[in-house]
Structure 1
Amino acid sequence: MTLRNRIVLTIAALSVPIAAAAQTAAAPALRLDQQRFRALYQELVETDTSITTGSCTALADKVETRLKAAGYADSAITRFAVPDHPKEGGLVVVLPGSSRTAKPMLLLGHIDVVVAKAEDWTRDPYKMVEENGYFYGRGTSDMKAMDAIWIDTLIRFKQDGYRPKRTIKLALTCGEETSWAFNGAKWLAQNKPDLIAAEFALNEGGGGRSDGKGNLVIANIHVGEKAAVNYRIEATNPGGHSSAPVRDNAIYELADAIGKVRDYDFPVQMTDTTRAYFRIAGKARGDAMGAAMMRVAADPTDKAALAIVDTDKSYHSMLRTTCVATLLDGGHANNALPQRAGANVNCRIFPGVSAESVRVALEKVVADPKMTVKQVDDRGPAAVPPPLDPRIVQPAERLLARYYPGVPLAPMMSTGATDGIYLGAIGIPSYGPPGLYGDPDGNGAHGLNERAIVKAVYTGRDYLYDLVKAYAG
């Protein structure tokens, strides 16, 4: 071996510990309690709970084991499932409070995730990978970070001997991500309302929005949401032999209809919550988009401002009902003209708008008497917007000032749908607290390479622990 080669090999060998040391310096060592939390979070992410290949029941088993190890008795934990959905079970755990008059509070979290196809991902979707300041994996942001925080909070309270004034309940459920699955929150509301009875609930939907560089710009408290309804647009045709094609083709007609749906915008609408959001969040931005947001809050008919705001997909959705094609089917043979072609159109309906009026609007947009537009299902009862209760908002604001000085808190209507609708139907207002936050692009939730900001997860854990304690007295 030449002297030059020896030098090269020596440098290469030294570079490994040097790089490792640099990496350690860049990322502070986790406290012991953070290490335990990370292990819990990782276990949640790495337990597949998708409707196709996973099991919520298996994850609930693991959570129950952790709760019992922390000191929760069998009597404090209620497991639930139904015979025809054995893999979609969940659990409720109760930490009793000291007060006979203070009503309980409920922490709600769905533990199921959207299906992830491994072949489409850059990384294994069911392995939690920490990379470049993010946790990657299916469910890291929706919503296993918050699930882990809720579980971790209840474990820490028990281990510390903390007895809240207000009873704290935690419900972990399945079925939120799939309309035809067994929905645990719905089942509890209909079959075990006393078990989850509470003055209010904390759920997903809140959080905040970063500048895309890891800095929190605006924090949100989720107050109300849209309703999710599915419609089927279908074209039918006598069909025939593919060797003699004609323009009258069910697939072509469906394609034309879907194009019309794509190009249609429902009218702009605003509530007190969304108006406040655009005013506060717009001011916080301090850029051209922020100025446009404030103008829209003052005048929703300002077309120039709307043109700017609508370039952001989340803002666009907050301002109106939205409908989008999500599934396609059609034809029956390779060598035959299609006799049928259909599309599922998923709509997120603005509060106060009826599902039937949206169906009629879609019918008018399609404008083809040969096609049908039918409502397939809805996700549940109409969403009941909760009050913007200062007893909920003020503790969140006080803690936000401690954790993120100068960051404003804005009420926000969720453009998605949460299981809070089932709680609202039995008189439990549901709020999505701040604490966790994401990037403007949505962090891949429901899509490829889902991720959560590492800093947001650890800080959110501390924030939400303190917030639960504040509410529990």
Structure 2
Amino acid sequence: MQGHAAMRLTLLAASTLALAACTTPVSPSGDPSTFSRDPGAHEADFRDLYKELIETNTTLSVGSCTLASERMKARLLAAGYPESDLYILVNPKPNRPQDGNFVAILPGSDPTAKAIMLMAHIDVVEAKREDWVRDPFVLTEEGGYFYARGATDDKAMAAIFTDSMIRFKREGYKPARTIKLMLNCGEESANDFIGAKYMVESHLDLISAEFALNEGAGGRIDAETGKYTFNGVQAGEKLYQDYTIEVTNPGGHSSRPVPDNAIYELGAALMAVQAYEFPIEFNAATRGFFRRMGQITPGQEGQDMRDAADGENAAAIRRLTVNPGYNATLRTTCVATELTAGHAPNALPQRATANVNCRIFPGHSQQEILGVLENVIGNANVKVAMRSPPETPIKPPPLPPEILKPIEQLTEKMWPGVPVIPQMSTGATDARFTTPAGITTYGVSGIFADPNTSGAHGLNERVGVKQLMEGRMFLHQLVKIYAGGE
């Protein structure tokens, strides 16, 4: 990121004033001079927007990001945005007109200040109604939670950012920096459908910004006590790669079974992958994370974090890796996620195929991990290949004071005593496309959750109602601090 010194002076000087200004209440009205600037105001409007976005199905199979984009565009038009500042853009190559990406622009008053971008993906992972307790595509509020597919990943931030853009316009806010909103499709899909990749390749001038705010980190809640333990900021992420593992066979009649069976061979290969543990590794981000967490985590777990970070104590690491999140932070992981086999119930299988999804610790290549899988399986009949071309690894973005300090100040204001801790995301986000394109992308949400019960990508996805509304207030204020103006 360029211009750090100038940016630092501007942001650090303005942040305290901005924090106070963000809470100035005014009576709501259609008149910008009387539209409330309180960051928690107009919750009913936000709930309505969030519900509409959630209940617009955006799965790859039957959904439409274009429809979701059109609905968000209609809301911004109603708020006063001109048509010329709103764009719905579709990648023509896959011939999927339903995969629209949405961009909205609120021009800044300072032509010398580079823009900031608010980005979120609006597509969601598939969900089967018969598997869920509630309809995954109907927003349900129950027991202090919102339940739905996309409740957290990533329609929470998409709704919050869209809501903020509406409120900025309605309250007459004049940012110094131009604020750009990008709601993109295909983050949960194969490479051919990734909207962020298409946008940086085909519309970089439109979305160009000095930096962007994105998913990738949030606040952590202690599941036992309900206490907020830290507010996370993404400091890098693992490398994503899918591998196809396949066995082929001549097959034959099922009444004449033979030992050479494609399903059995594939099953043995997957069992070998399951049994293999990649080596424990640390980098600056993960070592810092465990040191900071060790200072605020009581008991044996806190001691294990400190021992692991400072001395890579094997016994401490073994105890920590029982936690799926800590295990994923400490090593490359590969796991089977899809399986296809056989062509008829009364025939020996001619082909058996599995997808193995790997999240690769920074510093290793996709080709290297392919070789590890081949060695672990140890069977020449089992073929391992990359399902899609490997992406270029990205370096963790710097966290300079002009980025981190406003997050720390706002966190202290909203949740006194809760520390801000940089962390490496164990997943993958669209930052892997925007950061290499020159838009340094930071993951921060201010939405607190217990990652073990959020249900992201799984059953009964949920987000706390209180925590979602707090995240809305947090991000609304944070964007104003970064954008400046009045």
Indicate whether the TM-score tops 0.5: yes
Q: Provide the rounded CA distance (Å) in 1 between the counterparts of 2:315 and 2:385.
A: 35
Q: 2:60 aligns with which of 48, 51, 60?
A: 51
Amino acid at match of 1:245: P
> For residue 268 of structure 2, what is the amino acid of its counterpart?
D
| Aligned positions, number | 443
| Alignment partner, residue 471 of structure 2 | 460
Q: Distance between the aligned counterparts of 2:348 and 2:52, measured in 1?
A: 50
Q: Are 2:186 and 1:184 aligned?
A: no
CA deviation profile, 1:212-255 (whole Å, cap 9, x unmatched): 25431121001211111111111222323222222221111111
1:73 equivalent in alignment to 2:85: no
Is the counterpart of residue 291 in structure 1 residue 300 in structure 2?
no
Shift, 1:379, TM fit: 6.7
Contact 2:122–2:184, Cα closer than 8 Å, also in 1? yes
Comparing 61-70 with 371-380, greater Cα deviation is found at: 371-380
Tell me, what secondary structure is at the counterpart of 1:85? coil
SS in 1 for 2:388: strand
Indicate the residue corresponding to 2:26 in structure 1. none
Q: Is structure 2 residue 361 aligned with structure 1 residue 350?
A: yes
Question: Secondary structure in 2 aligned to 1:82?
Answer: coil
The residue that corresponds to 1:280 in the other structure is: 292
Q: Distance in 1 between matches of 2:115 and 2:435?
A: 15
Structure 1 spans left out of the alignment, 5+ residues: 1-29
Give the SS at the match of 1:170: strand
CA deviations over 1:401-434 (Å, ceiling 9, x no partner): 0111111111111111101111112111110114
**1:227, 1:379 within 8 Å by CA — same for their partners in 2?**
no
Q: State the distance in 1 between where 2:389 and 2:319 align.
A: 32
| Residues 306 and 434 of structure 1, relative CA distance in 2, 3 Å threshold | same
The answer for the alignment partner of 2:256 in structure 1 is 244
Distance 1:85 1:239 in 2: 37
Residue 213 of structure 2 aligns with which residue? Answer: 202
How far apart are 1:93 and its partner, in Å? 0.7
CA distance in 2, matches of 1:210, 1:378: 37
Aligned residue identity for 2:46? F
When residues 440 and 290 of structure 1 are mapped into structure 2, their CA distance, relative to the original with a 3 A threshold, is farther
The aligned amino acid for 2:54 is V
Cross-structure match for 1:223: 235
Q: 1:87 to 1:451 in 2, by over 3 A?
A: same
Distance 2:113 2:311 in 1: 42
CA contact (8 A) 1:41 1:144 kept: yes
- Residues 391, 349 of structure 1: CA spacing in aligned structure 2 closer, same or farther, 3 A cutoff? same
The aligned counterpart of 1:63 is: 72
Q: Does the 8 Å CA contact 1:384/1:421 hold for their aligned counterparts? A: no
Asked if structure 1 preserves the Cα contact closer than 8 Å seen for 2:290 and 2:308, the reply is yes
Aligned to 2:34: none
Q: Distance in 2 between matches of 1:311 and 1:472?
A: 42
Gaps of at least 5 residues in structure 2 are 1-38
Q: Deviations over 1:130-183 (max 9, x none)?
A: 111100001001011111110111111111111111111000110001115522
Residues 177-186 or 138-147, more deviating: 177-186
Return the alpha-carbon distance in structure 2 between the equivalents of residues 199 and 426 of structure 1: 11
Give the deviation of 1:443 after TM superposition. Answer: 0.6
**Contact 2:186–2:193 (Cα < 8 Å) also in 1:** yes
Is structure 2 residue 456 aligned with structure 1 residue 445? yes
* Matching residue's letter, 2:314: K
**Equivalent position amino acid for 2:43 in 1:** Q
Q: 1:336 aligns with which of 347, 363, 369?
A: 347
Q: Is the 8 A contact 2:285 2:424 kept in 1?
A: yes
The residue number in structure 2 matching 1:42 is 51
CA 328–310 in structure 1, closer or farther in 2 if over 3 Å, else same:
same
The alpha-carbon deviation at position 297 of structure 1 amounts to 1.1
Question: What displacement does 1:282 show?
Answer: 2.5
% identity of equivalent residues:
49
Residue of structure 1 aligned with 2:110, choices 94, 99, 112 = 99
